[in-house]
């Protein structure tokens, strides 16, 4: 496993649409493991292919609770319910946070690393993470969805203090 380089801010790759994964080969499995490790290293709860420079439809999520770690290939949101206004950040925009409107619940269809079709229901933070990461696959970043006047830059010192 290896830590991959993160893409930040104005990197053009973050605005591009990622392509479906046709074959889940060893290279994709290695990418998935590397993404998980990279996300953990930077204390993230989600990471998408484009954020490590790979324009493929793969996301990883870890909410650091039992049963809340996911590797999803070609994920698609098939249903949404309700709404939540939540504070959001992104590993590609370190120290920036803002409020974003997200569905309260989502249902996602995807493939797992074994190539099996899975259906996943998520609410609250999991719904938020799924939407945020799937947005990345469509070249959409949270910073463009932040409610006006809510974007804040928090310095690493302040961040430490708030933990
Ligand atoms: Ni992000």
Residue range(s) defining the domain that contains residue 67: 12-161
48 alpha carbon – ligand 1 mean position (Å): 7
pLDDT at position 54 is: 98
CATH of the domain at 151: 3.90.45.10
DSSP sequence for the chain = --PPPPP-TT-GGGGSPPBPP----HHHHHHHHHHHHHHHHTT-SEEEGGGGT--BSEEEEE-SSTT-EEEEEEEEEEEEE--EEEEEEETTEEEEEEEEEE-SEEEEEEE-TTS-EEEEEEETHHHHHHHHHHHHHTT--GGGTPPTT--EE--HHHHHHT-
Decide if pLDDT at 163 tops 50.
no
Q: Give the pLDDT confidence of 132-155 residue by residue, as tens digits.
A: 999 999 999 999 999 999 999 987
Decide if 5 is inside a domain: no
- Residue 4 resides in a domain: no
* pTM higher than the cut 0.85: yes
Q: Does residue 53 belong to any structural domain of this protein?
A: yes
* Alpha carbon of 115 to ligand 1 centroid (Å): 25
Query: Could you tell me if 129 and 142 are in contact, meaning their C-beta atoms sit under 8 angstroms apart?
Result: no
- Whether 3 is in a domain gets the answer no
- Taking only the tens place, the pLDDT of each residue in 48-63 is 999 999 999 999 999 9
Give residue 161's pLDDT band: very low, low, confident or very high (50, 70, 90): low
Give the separation between CA 90 and CA 100, rounded to whole angstroms: 12
Whether residue 7 is contained in a domain is answered as no
Nearest to 62 by CA among 46, 74, 51: 46
Total domains present in the chain: 1
Quick: pLDDT tens for 13-27.
999 999 999 999 999
Q: Using pLDDT thresholds of 50, 70 and 90, give the confidence band for residue 159.
A: low
94, pLDDT greater than 80: yes
Average pLDDT over residues 78-92: 97
Whether 2 is in a domain gets the answer no
Does residue 17 fall inside a structural domain?
yes
pLDDT over 90 percentage in the chain: 93
Q: How far is the CA of 100 from the centre of ligand 1 (A)?
A: 12
Domain contains 37: yes
Choosing from 133, 140, 152, 158, which is the catalytic residue?
A: 133
C-alpha 82: how far from its chain's center? 20
Contacts of 138 (CB under 8 A, 6+ apart): 17, 18
Is 148 tagged catalytic?
A: no
Average pLDDT, rounded, for the chain: 95
CA of 50 from ligand 1 middle (Å) equals 10
**Is the pLDDT reported for residue 122 higher than 50?**
yes
């Amino acid at each position: 496993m290896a830590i991959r380089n993160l893409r930040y801010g104005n990197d053009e790759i973050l605005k591009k649409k990622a392509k479906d994964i046709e074959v889940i080969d060893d290279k994709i499995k290695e990418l998935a493991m590397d993404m998980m490790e990279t996300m953990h290293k930077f204390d993230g709860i989600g990471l998408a292919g484009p954020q490590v420079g790979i324009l493929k439809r793969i996301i990883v999520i870890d909410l650091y609770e039992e049963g809340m770690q996911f590797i999803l290939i070609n994920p698609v949101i098939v249903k949404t319910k309700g709404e939540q206004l939540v504070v959001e950040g992104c590993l590609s925009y370190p120290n920036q946070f803002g409020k974003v409107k997200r569905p309260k619940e989502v249902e996602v269809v995807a493939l797992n690393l074994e190539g099996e079709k899975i259906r996943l229901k998520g609410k609250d933070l999991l719904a938020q993470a799924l939407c945020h990461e799937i947005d990345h696959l469509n070249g959409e970043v949270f910073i463009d969805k932040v409610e006006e006047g809510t974007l804040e830059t928090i310095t690493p010192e302040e961040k430490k203090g708030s933990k």
